[in-house]
Structure 1
Amino acid sequence: MSKTLTICHLVRAPIGGIFRHIADLAAAQVKQGHRVGIICDSLTGGDYEAEHIARLQEILPLGVTRIAMPRAVGPGDVIALMKVALQLRKHQPDVLHCHGSKGGLFGRLVKGLRLLPQSTKVFYAPHGGSLHYDPNSRQGKFYFPAERFLERWTASLIHASDYERKTYVTKVGQPRTAAIVAHNGIAEAELDAVRCDKDAKDFLYIGMLRDLKGVDLFIKALSQMNKIETTSALIVGDGDDVDKARYAQMVEDYGLQQQVQFFPSMPARQAFAKAKAIVVPSRAESLPYIVLEAAGAKLPMVVTNVGGIPEIFGEKTPELVAPDVSQLAEAMTMLKRKNYKLPRTAWLHLQVSQNFSIKVMEGCVMQAYRDALAE
């Protein structure tokens, strides 16, 4: 694309894989000569996220603007929406790329309220988001009709996995706008193997601290294993204070205080060195970065068979298990007994290096922009 574009990324929570995706994509777009900025929540994240955002401030021409965006839908959304609209009117973007449920809601409402230039094209990447809800749940009955309504102000849907694309069709309906799949990708530097420290723990969980991510399943699986043999673990990440306190209480209730340590968010490869294997116990996913990052680092994994994860493993999925305490404990026990060696670790590393790069991801997204702007 020869024209220099003004691109704004809008998301609520600047944490986890969703923000990793935005940061990588924004940095790649800046390297292509575009004017890029990010708008995100000011209420979420810890010191690690603050440092990450500070680094982004230095490289993004439009910087990072933080606005209070409550997670739950409520009256505070009206104030947040108006602040987002004012910031977007200041930037006058050619492209508004919305990420996650709230980012998608705010961005497309701003377009629908005609608070953006008519020429601005709005893109929406669910990143799982509302698509995780059951259609028959209270949330599903609210979000899915809303997703359908908001399509009218959507130039294209950008899915992180084919699983997410199919889920959208099943729960929302066949989209009345363009839709593409742009798999998440990692950098070449992340394809170097990570050596574990001499005092490395047995297992690592790293990510958002939510039941959706299976943190409770991981703790319960560790409890089962420790009834047979001592097994150590690290839990690295951040979440709501209520959830963090609940998981700490679970560890205490199961008598695992000596076996399980909590750490705040840190770079994934730094965390990888602290354990012999990683566990991804999610109940739902789109296409998680942590699996790509662990594969790039040649770290042995126990991973649940949910969402778009099988798209990373291809046809070779025997290591994948159900998000079930007993199955997780069994798979972790087997891996420990095999001295943390899996035969397909090298194959998976090659699969990720060839098919899941930032360059490929950015190319897919920019092509979606080109197609919409050419209309």
Structure 2
Amino acid sequence: MKHIYAFCIAIVLFGTKAWAQPVSAYTNFQNQFMVWDNGIERKIESLLPVRYEIGRVAVPYLDNTRNFKIYSKGGVQLINQGFTSDFKVTDNLVAYRNNNALFVWENGTTTRLSNYISTYTVGDSVVLFFDNVRSVYKAYYGGNLYEIESFLGGGNNMTVDSNAVNDGLSIADGQLPSVKVSDNIAAFITYANRFKVFYHGETTELETFTVTSFDVGRNIVAYVDANRNFKVFYNGEVNEIESFTPASYKAGDNVMAYISNDGNFKIFYNGEVNTVGYFSPEYKVGDNIVAYKDASGYFKVFYKGKIYTLDAYYPQSYKISYNSLAYVNAAGMLRLFSEGEVYDVTNASTADWRLDYDVIQYRFGQNMYKIFYKGKTH
């Protein structure tokens, strides 16, 4: 194990290039529905939408007459007229229901997944659902459909859980879900109590006996096995990292943080366990980020192998998304940590703000909006 030493970072003006085109959306003071698309504002509806969600490359919404539409790459695509009852958006996908039928939209193309489903959940590039027609769990990934399992164990509660897993809670007692889905991976307990993962289009059995608990993130599954050993599935391999159950743990994108049985705060990253220190902090794990309160009360972030000091106090609330973290400090400054850089966004009084991946949208006055992205205010 290696020890990580913290260092402070300077405030700079420009970040690195994003992998995908950033979008945000809002309704202005004229009640027009606006999309901010990589620096360009576009009016896409003259009336307030019934509901909308913001993904990395798409903005799905129900317009004023409940027509379901998706904005992406500068244009609006009409999906259907009044049939959509539910929808979810992630980095790359939009999954939606028309009554009991399930569809997925990816890169402008719509695919029908099932005519009759009971439940579903979606990650950045995977959709997991129960097909009532065939009575089988299926996964959509990379444009293909895969049959996963006929029956799952536990309560068959599909979830994308944001809470840490604490020692003392178990799947067998119904305190934890038996199915979890993250960006590109799903983990589940079968009816025969075997523990399996669906990853890169393949289903792999990790344990033949039921596990006590587990959590998932992009490319990673952390779990406590039947003998209470703590293990990690990462890059297609299983490794035991502790012989005792941790006090708590949480997986995120390519990273996992935990408080070990002996009271050390540790972070698993890039195949290695990093010991941060002997303390039990408050912490959250997100997209490549572990944010925590250190032993001195400082607000710190572990990001891609380095530790950054953000502030001298730990904020009551903050948001993590897409290599980014946003919060308001004690002086009232809205701050953004994104891809290793820190930005002071604004110290003006804001009525509301939100973090859409690595884009900050904030409101002031009567529905007046500003967008902050990569060091620039729009």
The answer to whether TM tops 0.5 is: no
**Higher relative contact order by CA 8 Å / sep ≥ 6: 1 or 2?**
1
Q: TM-score by structure 2 length? A: 0.25
- Higher gyration radius (CA): 2
Q: TM-score by structure 1 length? A: 0.25
Select the structure that is richer in strand: 2
